[in-house]
Structure 1
Amino acid sequence: MMVMTNRINKKERKKHIMNAALGIFSEKGFQNATISEISKAAGVSDATVYEYFGTKEKLLFSIPEQISDENTEDLQRVLPYIKGVEGKLRAFLIMFMRLYETNPHYSNLVLLQLMSSREFRNTAAHAAIRKSAHMLLDCIKQGIDEGTFRKDADPYLIRSMLMGTVEHLFIHWHMQGMPKRENPIQDYLDPFLEIVLDGIRAKTRTNTITLNVKMEDGEVVKSIFIEPSPLIKEAAE
């Protein structure tokens, strides 16, 4: 029982340190943040921070890895209960937007500080973020395979459009100083998603005929396609 309690306490303490570090990294940037500031905010010693994470850099990268893993697990639990690929796409974007908006320290850290770092792209943290991006890609491919989306649609381009727009909205929000909004940023989701879906949905074919007709031939065409011929009238009678 004591061993289990110690494990829980260690897990909670580690998460507490990460939460404190997230706020400081977001506000001051990685270079200006110090382990002493983080340990003070977390209510632990510098030695405890080093014991759990080893270096300031490892502490930095552990934050998006942990949060991304949790977000992916939430997606994996929810998606099986959502019907249709369009509903699943909406669920993906809602969860990303909700994460970015309700945890501005996280979206600041990832979108403004880490995504432009080449070093970050070689970490387990980046792999954790990419995991959910791969899930989104698989969902789009499923829509193409089952005929919901056009066969000529590029799944990678669609994913870039969806995630790129979401990221742009939140980068712009942060650059403005995160002003309070009358409506949440999530309100942009449905109009934007409908524009994208309208462009990639498989179109139902209809049998149509296109004719180039001279003005003087208009009455003839009308009699053929609109007004029934005498033979048809006679047969009907």
Structure 2
Amino acid sequence: MKISKAQKEKNRRKIILAAVDLFSEHGFDNVTMKQIAKSAEMADSTVYKYFATKDKFLFAFHELMILDAVKGCRKAKAYDGFDLQEKIQFFLDLYLESLLNHREFVGDSLSMLMGTPLSGINRRFPARADLTALMTEALDQAIEREEIPEFPYREAITHLMTDALLGVVLFWLKDDSEEFHQTTQMVDMSLSLLVTFLRSGLIGKVNDMATFVIKSQMIRFIEDGSLISNLMNVRNLAKLGRAGGGLGRDAV
């Protein structure tokens, strides 16, 4: 019997959540496809139609959580009235909240996925397109409302914002502060830095090396715990550049 697209999506979600519950309780290596089928109350053959191998769940879970957060943004009545920083913050809040109940599995799954080539992740991670579209719309609306000026490299900045999501999750996984206060502080300062740069017009004065530097330094800051203090320094530098109309030689 042919089933509808909506029913397929419902079945897929049910299987993913059943699998992740088992992974969180017993560990990824200790769970079988048969156990997943039983927990999802579906036939073994049905589960295999959606997921040929167990490792497919690693991508599927993260994709589902991102898509849920994107949909949550689009459904929220207040979302369109938010400014750029509030929109990104709202998405991050929804996304991290969805990961909270499976935090240990999130860490384990990312550790396993880290060995996957970036090109492979992009091909197997279609939710990236939905997230990129959401970020692009947020930037376009911010420009239209004159929150920020027009700027070059918009596509590159959008992809950088999308890539930065991994850095936020990695920081959150290492955060043992009460109610993840350090993650909240890091996100607030990072978004403030982003908006400050966009408002300053400095984006048009940097070259393609900026993307490489930001990504590489993000990982180093996360590892040595200096991310927040360095964000404060960079944000102050951006504000200085904005006030002075750009970064001259004396400011560098």
After TM superposition, the score normalised by the length of structure 2 is: 0.56
Deviations 1:40-79 (A, max 9, x none): 5546553453355454455555434443332221111126
Contact 1:36/1:46 (8 A) holds in 2: yes
CA distance in 2, matches of 1:197, 1:11: 36
Q: What is the rounded CA distance, in whole Å, between the counterparts of 1:157 and 1:52 in structure 2?
A: 33
Q: Tell me whether 1:98 sits opposite 2:97 in the alignment.
A: yes
Instruction: Choose which of 195, 198, 209 in structure 2 pairs with 1:197.
Output: 195
- CA drift at 1:140: 1.8
Q: 1:182 aligns with which of 178, 183, 194?
A: 178
Within 5 Å, give how 1:28-177 maps onto structure 2: 28-29=27-28, 33-39=31-37, 41-42=39-40, 46-50=44-48, 53-56=51-54, 61-78=59-76, 80-104=79-103, 107-108=106-107, 111-114=110-113, 117-118=116-117, 119-123=120-124, 126-152=125-151, 154-159=153-158, 162-174=161-173, 176=174
Contact 1:22 1:105 in 2 (8 A): no
Q: In the aligned structure 1, how far is the partner of 2:57 from the partner of 2:243?
A: 55
Matched positions, count:
195
The letter for the 2-side match of 1:186 is: T
| Structure 1 residue aligned with 2:19 | 21
Q: Deviations over 1:139-159 (max 9, x none)?
A: 224324553224335434544
CA RMSD of aligned residues (A): 4.1
Structure 2 residue runs of 5 or longer lacking an equivalent are: 202-241, 245-252
Structure 1 stretches lacking a partner, 5+ long: 207-237
Q: Distance in 1 between matches of 2:243 and 2:172?
A: 42
> 2:179 corresponds to which letter in structure 1?
N
Q: Which amino acid aligns with 2:122?
A: R
Larger Rg: 1
Q: TM-score with structure 1 length normalisation?
A: 0.58
Kept in 2: contact 1:23–1:105 (CA 8 A): no
Structure showing greater relative contact order (alpha-carbon pairs closer than 8 Å, 6 or more residues apart): 1
**Residue type of the partner of 2:94?**
M
Where is the helix percentage greater, Structure 1 or Structure 2? 2
